[in-house]
Structure 1
Amino acid sequence: MNRDDKTKVAVIGSGNIGTDLMIKVLRLSKHLEMGAMVGIDPDSDGLARAARFGVPITADGVGGLIDMAGFDDIEIVFDATSAKAHEANAAELAPYGKRLIDLTPAAIGPFVVPAVNIEEHIDAANVNMVTCGGQATIPVVAAVARVVPVAYAEIVASIASKSAGPGTRANIDEFTETTALAITSVGGAERGKAVIILNPAEPPLIMRDTVLCLVRAPDAAVHAEITASVQKMVDDVAAYVPGYRLKQAVQISPIPDGQPVHTLLREGIGTVPTHQVSVFLEVEGAAHYLPAYAGNLDIMTSAAVQMAERIAQRKEESR
């Protein structure tokens, strides 16, 4: 593809996530071109690296981006800041008609998990990439839900403490709330819960995720369908996050008599679950900029780039 045909993008946030996004666009993208790197700290490593790569930079935030000479040519803006900052950034950019891809838990726009619903929101002005835990686990919930209704889904995301920067730590509450909401709205579960664990182990461990789904599936043939659906979904996610994989085989076990699962179910639900589906995942980062143990950040940037690639590809298809 001719460079002039590529869709120009800007990245707001020159920290770890924003820098990794930039490097993915520069190294891997078929349809995207870096148009700007935006920060607020003129001494940040991300801005320094962008300058060395020849990417236009500004340390004056979104105002500086709007004042840049090439701003009109930028079509997609990634926001890798924080939930509160994204609200302000989105409002400031609203008059200019840019497509926003939000990597914070602000959730102004619809949730997108590429392997599940990328086509549903391809025309949305502002899409939200949920959270790292959501990107890793919601595909599995959706894979189970496309076989049998999921009465309850719970996810536990364990990430290396070293991979959780100030932005992640400031948004822990938003992380759990946003992920739980997306488990139902995207994953298809009747009710959802999310837990995040910052693992202080040294050396740092790569991201591990547990997905538990309560389903009514007394038929063994349905168990085989669930297992196949989960494996297919894992393969779909691994197509854009190569370090995403099952840690062990899918487990489907009967719920013991007398176990009070009713306390987890949505009030008024008519289906009584008979089995628990347990899926154990790990996510190893590609180490483009972030260390390999930071799979939680890698899956976010990979999902965001996948969304932007599809937007750009759709534009090219419509020509």
Structure 2
Amino acid sequence: MMTKTKVAIVGPGNIGSDLMIKIMRLSKVLEMGAFVGIDPESDGLKRAARMGVPITAEGIDGLVAMPEFSDIKIVFDATSAGAHKHHNEVLQAHGKRVVDLTPAAIGPYVIPPVNGQTALDAPNVNMVTCGGQATIPIVAAVNRVAKVHYGEIVASIASKSAGPGTRANIDEFTETTSQAIMDVGGATRGKAIIILNPAEPPLIMRDTVYCLCEEADQEAIRQSVEDMVAEVQTYVPGYRLKQAVQFEHIGSNRPLHIPEMDGDFTGLKVSVFLEVEGAAHYLPAYAGNLDIMTSAAMKTAEKIAERIAA
């Protein structure tokens, strides 16, 4: 039987709490070694203590001072892009592997079904954003059939599922996701938009992906997208197409002018509509944005742990 790899989570908010519960309930590879925050009265730290996880309210310095720290191999950072730079410097000085759930993007971007095997030896890997995890697989699926010249994604999440960390990182969300659409998804240009939907009752996460690409076999594109959806469902069961993939031919008589592109576009427009239902490990099922982010982070850490143990 494989010995589990001990991990720590820095950031006891929505994302960190959901990730902790996932690891404890689902992972056969990872074991919680510490849960870290800066407010001793935070709900996340109190929950972790009730679940028997060692905690500290002294931040990253408190983690380093914990007796459990020497046994921890991987640290998840679920704080903010601004805080992550310092956290990473401290953790790298102690030889820890870091899985970054903020949009700081210090390490290479990782989207498990697209490039999940390529950065397992990197000291720091970045999980992009919840919107990126949901949509970049689709951009990549289209791009492997027809070159995507422009990819645009719109991620709509329930306002109640966006904690202080998410709200503090809106600008970084759009910048990091846009860059990853190009670097991982393969698009020549990328754009990302996030919407915090205040509707009551809260609505499930919805994502729209638009790809402007070269003309290609539409059935091949549709099949590629469906195959990618099935792959994401292996670790996020609530991930699904909302309707069939849509196609529109853009002819030279009515070309599209996209400010982010060089010149007018003619070719094929592919529209994909997704929804992500959460597993409700911490927040209700409408918080699919948490579920896909933490599920992707756990899957990546499990692969890193397997590489360390090999």
TM class by shorter chain equals: over 0.9
Indicate how the Cα distance of structure 1 residues 268 and 258 shifts in structure 2: closer, same or farther if over 3 A, else same. closer
Per the alignment, residue 236 of structure 1 pairs with 231
After TM superposition, give the deviation of residue 273 of structure 1 in Å: 3.7
Per the alignment, residue 254 of structure 1 pairs with 249
Per the alignment, residue 202 of structure 1 pairs with 200
Amino acid at match of 2:131: G
Question: Are 1:184 and 1:191, in contact at CA under 8 Å, matched by a contact in 2?
Answer: yes
- Residue 74 of structure 1, aligned match among 72, 75, 80: 72
After TM superposition, give the deviation of residue 37 of structure 1 in Å: 0.4
1:180-215 alpha-carbon deviations (Å, 9 max, x no partner): 000000000010100111111110000000000011
Counterpart Cα distance in 2 of 1:247 and 1:284: 11
Per the alignment, residue 275 of structure 1 pairs with 268
Counterpart of 1:224 in 2: which secondary structure? helix
Question: Are 2:56 and 2:63, in contact at CA under 8 Å, matched by a contact in 1?
Answer: yes
1:100-141 alpha-carbon deviations (Å, 9 max, x no partner): 000001011110001110111011100000001000000000
- Residue 120 of structure 1, aligned match among 118, 121, 124: 118
Question: Are 1:152 and 1:264, in contact at CA under 8 Å, matched by a contact in 2?
Answer: no
Number of aligned positions between the proteins: 310
Per the alignment, residue 31 of structure 1 pairs with 29
Per the alignment, residue 221 of structure 2 pairs with 226
Question: Are 1:100 and 1:125, in contact at CA under 8 Å, matched by a contact in 2?
Answer: yes
1:169 to 2:167 alignment? yes
Amino acid at match of 1:141: V
Per the alignment, residue 301 of structure 2 pairs with 308
After TM superposition, give the deviation of residue 152 of structure 1 in Å: 0.6
Counterpart of 1:209 in 2: which secondary structure? strand
Question: Are 2:255 and 2:266, in contact at CA under 8 Å, matched by a contact in 1?
Answer: no
Question: Are 1:82 and 1:105, in contact at CA under 8 Å, matched by a contact in 2?
Answer: yes
Counterpart of 1:119 in 2: which secondary structure? coil
Counterpart of 2:258 in 1: which secondary structure? helix
After TM superposition, give the deviation of residue 314 of structure 1 in Å: 2.2
Per the alignment, residue 136 of structure 1 pairs with 134
Question: Are 1:14 and 1:44, in contact at CA under 8 Å, matched by a contact in 2?
Answer: yes
| Structure 2, unpaired ranges of 5+ | none
Amino acid at match of 2:169: N
After TM superposition, give the deviation of residue 264 of structure 1 in Å: 4.5
After TM superposition, give the deviation of residue 90 of structure 1 in Å: 0.8
1:145-186 alpha-carbon deviations (Å, 9 max, x no partner): 011100111000011111111111111111000000000000
| Structure 1, unpaired ranges of 5+ | none
Counterpart Cα distance in 1 of 2:97 and 2:108: 13
After TM superposition, give the deviation of residue 260 of structure 1 in Å: 4.1
Runs of 4+ in structure 1 deviating by more than 2 angstroms, as ranges, are 256-269
1:60 to 2:58 alignment? yes
TM-score (norm 2): 0.97
After TM superposition, give the deviation of residue 268 of structure 1 in Å: 7.8
After TM superposition, give the deviation of residue 15 of structure 1 in Å: 1.0
| Identity rate, percent | 68
Counterpart Cα distance in 1 of 2:99 and 2:254: 42
Amino acid at match of 1:263: I
TM-score (norm 1): 0.94
